[in-house]
Amino acid sequence: MSNPKQMLPAPILFSGDEPFWEATRTGRLLVKKCNHCGESHYYPRVHCPFCGSGDTVWQEVSGKGTVYSYSIVARSRRPLAPAIIELDEGVRISSVIADADVYALKIGDTVQVQFMPTHEGPPAPAFTTIAAEAARAYSRQALMALGEIHASASAAFQRAAVIGAGNMGTGITLSLLAAGLEVLLIDSTQGSLDKGVERITESLTQDTSKGRINVTHKAELLGKLRTSTAMRDVADADVIIEAVWEQMALKKEIFVALDKHAKPGALLATNTSTLDVGQIASVTRRPESVVGLHFFNPAQVMKLLEVIRSTSTSAAALGAAKALAKRLGKTAIVVGICDGFVGNRLMIARERQASRLLLEGALPQQIDRVLREFGLPMGTFELQDMAGGIELSYRARKGTPTADWLIERLFELGRIGQRAGKGYYRYEVGKRAPIADPEVASLIYEASALAGIARRHISDQEIHDRLILPMINEGAKLIEDGIVDRASDIDLVWQFGYGWPNWKGGPMYYADNLGAAAITKRLIELHSKHGEVFRPAALLTRLAETGQRFTALPA
């Protein structure tokens, strides 16, 4: 869910237009100027549309202009607006606005040309907004703030060991193999190892059938994979990543064994998503070498790696973790220990409100539409259907005070998500498009009634505020508590881990655009009606008073 460059359909190529397409390859936009009447017009017309003369020449234009008119394509993978642009030179051209917040577009907005890849064709001109360009420039700066990592440091990794051949362990193994490392996969039983290797092989087979790697390459990768049930075999690994069940006692047991067998200087990592990395490190005689490496599911695909430092983690270990991330082609963001780290902490704040809004009067399709129109690649309920969130939530809450009537009914009805063809939505066989389901709506109505809540109309604006402002508020607390080094790190986590578009910066960049004063004011209103999560963070209040911006705070 990073931000792949959007692709446009292949353009139709007419003879005589070669100079136009040659120019797009070097990032220049051409129009045709009529020698007869002096007017300019835009490709693909051969004759002058004003006087009919064929006596025309190519002329380079600035590519800057304003929006003359536009419409928005519903349900495209990324927001896309076909538009007529009035260039500064006075020529109107018909194009599209992409990689920009098209739902925030206004007639007269300033836009500039960008050249986008097409399916099997030369780059084609499209337009983007000045606001989107500014956010992208900010995103590039945010990446630069992470610092350079020397290739030599990344090359130092040759052998890795992964403990736990489950879902995450096999994904991490695939990622390490793809980066050219030798991997030793360890699990407690041969049966689990066999299943893990089967999953790895299946995934590589899929890669070959999709043409991502060839058969020889697949064999090479599998040739670099070894398995074992004996912990002592980790002795020659440069990095060891633990991905066993999420239980503190078990993790500690594993780290005692790793400490005993790993070579000096090896990087010892845990993939825990909730446990205290400092506590895990404390059972070893080398807590300075222990870090959290929080991979995202599926680990071989997701580009984000949260690197968790404990108070005892050394600078050298952090450096090694970042170098490993680079080798894996991932973006490493160093974060401190806290509930949910950075990504999930903000996600959970959003999900809680989403569930609450269902009870108060919204439906999944309304909430998800608001999030898509905001610019996210997917709504929260679609995402849960894709990731099996209902089942995870059911198992995590069952028998606890957080048990949830709606989640339990959905689970009991087998509505565990896309995999079952139904969850918060229903799905047609083999298709991924979510379809609103009346059965879910009536369950939600029943849940509201059981909770004694009179359903009301909920505006899109309220959904936006209830979902996005708590994320910003949590982000402010993370900065305040020193969990992140800088606000832009939170933004990068959301770009690389959750598909927040780089043309909208990230939650904290977005907060700066809204303004701390406006956010604080709205949070105070929401706090009086909807509880503690809306109490403005101290940092937010301070910024509101001083007029400072999150993204301008010193690191």
Binding site for Zn ion (CB under 5 A): 34, 36-37, 48, 50-51, 53
Rounded to a whole number of angstroms, the minimum distance from the CB of residue 60 to Zn ion is 19
Cβ-based nearer residue to ligand NAD, 123 or 336: 336
For residues 159 and 238, the answer to whether their CB atoms sit within 8 Å is yes
User: Is 294 assigned a catalytic role?
Assistant: yes
Output the smallest distance, CB 227 to ligand NAD, in A: 11
The DSSP result for 339-408, as a single string, is TTTTHHHHHHHHHHHHHHHHHHT--HHHHHHHHHHHT-SS-HHHHHHHHTHHHHHHHHHTTSTT--HHHH
Evaluate whether 458 touches 365 at the Cβ level (below 8 Å): no
**CA dist., res. 390 & res. 409, Å (int):** 10
Residue 499 CA to chain centroid, in angstroms?
Answer: 3
Task: Give the one entry of ligand NAD, Zn ion, none that residue 446 binds, where binding means its C-beta sits below a cut-off of 5 to 8 angstroms depending on kind.
Answer: none
User: How many angstroms separate the CA atoms of 325 and 308, rounded?
Assistant: 13
Look up residue 484 and give its DSSP letter.
S
Pairing state of beta strands 92-98 and 331-335?
Answer: unpaired
DSSP H stretches of helix in 239-363? 248-261, 277-282, 315-327, 343-360
Structure tokens at 303: 């580009």
- Residue 330 DSSP class: -
Closest listed residue to residue 334, CA positions, set 299, 306, 359, 374? 306
How far, in Å, are 137, 333, 416, 544 from residue 485 at the CA level? 20, 9, 38, 21
Kindly state the smallest distance separating residue 494's Cβ from ligand NAD, in Å.
16
Q: Which is nearer to ligand NAD, 101 or 351 (CB)?
A: 351
CA-nearest of 316, 337, 194 to 270 is: 337
Which residue in 36, 261, 294, 457 is the catalytic one?
294
Copy the structure tokens of residue 71: 């419409």
Kindly state the smallest distance separating residue 84's Cβ from Zn ion, in Å. Answer: 20
Are 495 and 506 in contact, with CB atoms under 8 Å apart?
yes
Which CB, 91 or 370, lies closer to Zn ion?
91
Smallest separation (angstroms) from ligand NAD to the CB of 147: 25
Q: How far apart are CA 266 and CA 284, in angstroms?
A: 13
In whole angstroms, the minimum distance from the beta carbon of 39 to ligand NAD comes to 59
Closer to ligand NAD by CB, 98 or 168: give it. Answer: 168
- Give the Cβ contact number of residue 46 at 10 Å: 12
Least gap, CB of 39 to Zn ion (angstroms): 5
Looking at the Cβ atoms of 342 and 537, the one nearer to ligand NAD is 342
User: What does 153 bind: Zn ion, ligand NAD, none (CB cut-off 5 to 8 Å by kind)?
Assistant: none
Query: Which option in ligand NAD, Zn ion, none does residue 48 bind, with CB closer than 5 to 8 A by kind?
Result: Zn ion
Q: Which among Zn ion, ligand NAD, none contacts residue 53 (Cβ within 5 to 8 A by kind)?
A: Zn ion
18 binds, among ligand NAD, Zn ion, none (CB under 5 to 8 A by kind): none
**Interaction site with ligand NAD (CB under 6 A):** 163-169, 186-188, 192, 243-246, 250, 271-273, 294-295, 297
Q: What does 51 interact with, of Zn ion, ligand NAD, none (CB < 5 to 8 A by kind)?
A: Zn ion
Residue 380, sorted as left (phi over 0), alpha (psi -120 to 50) or beta, turns out to be: alpha
Closest residue to bound ligand NAD by CB: 166
442 binds, among ligand NAD, Zn ion, none (CB under 5 to 8 A by kind): none
Q: Is 65 or 164 the residue whose CB approaches ligand NAD more closely?
A: 164
Q: 501: cis peptide before it, omega within 30°? A: no
- Report which DSSP code applies to 439: H
Structure tokens at 484: 């992140």
Cβ at position 46, least distance to Zn ion in Å: 12
Contact 288, 317 (CB under 8 A): yes
- Choose the contact partner of 36 out of Zn ion, ligand NAD, none; CB within 5 to 8 A by kind: Zn ion
Decide whether 51 or 84 has the Cβ nearer to Zn ion. Answer: 51
Q: How far is the CB of 294 from ligand NAD (least distance, A)?
A: 6
Which residues fall within 8 angstroms of residue 273, CB to CB, at 6 or more apart?
246, 294, 340, 341, 344
CA dihedral 20, 26, 27, 29 (to 10 degrees): -20
Residue number with CB closer to ligand NAD (297 or 546): 297
Q: How far is the CB of 208 from ligand NAD (least distance, A)?
A: 24
The amino acid at 309: R
Q: Where does 415-482 show beta strands of DSSP type E?
A: none
The listed partner (Zn ion, ligand NAD, none) that binds 198, CB under 5 to 8 Å by sort, is: none
Nearer to ligand NAD, 83 or 241 (CB): 241
Q: Which partner from the list Zn ion, ligand NAD, none does 244 bind, CB cut-off 5 to 8 Å by kind?
A: ligand NAD
249 versus 552: smaller Cβ distance to ligand NAD: 249
Question: Who contacts 68 (Cβ-Cβ below 8 Å, separation ≥6)?
Answer: 83, 84, 85, 86, 92, 107
Tokens linked to 244 = 């066993």
Which token pair is 83?
A: 């538009």
In 9-112, alpha helices (H)? 18-25
Active site members: 294
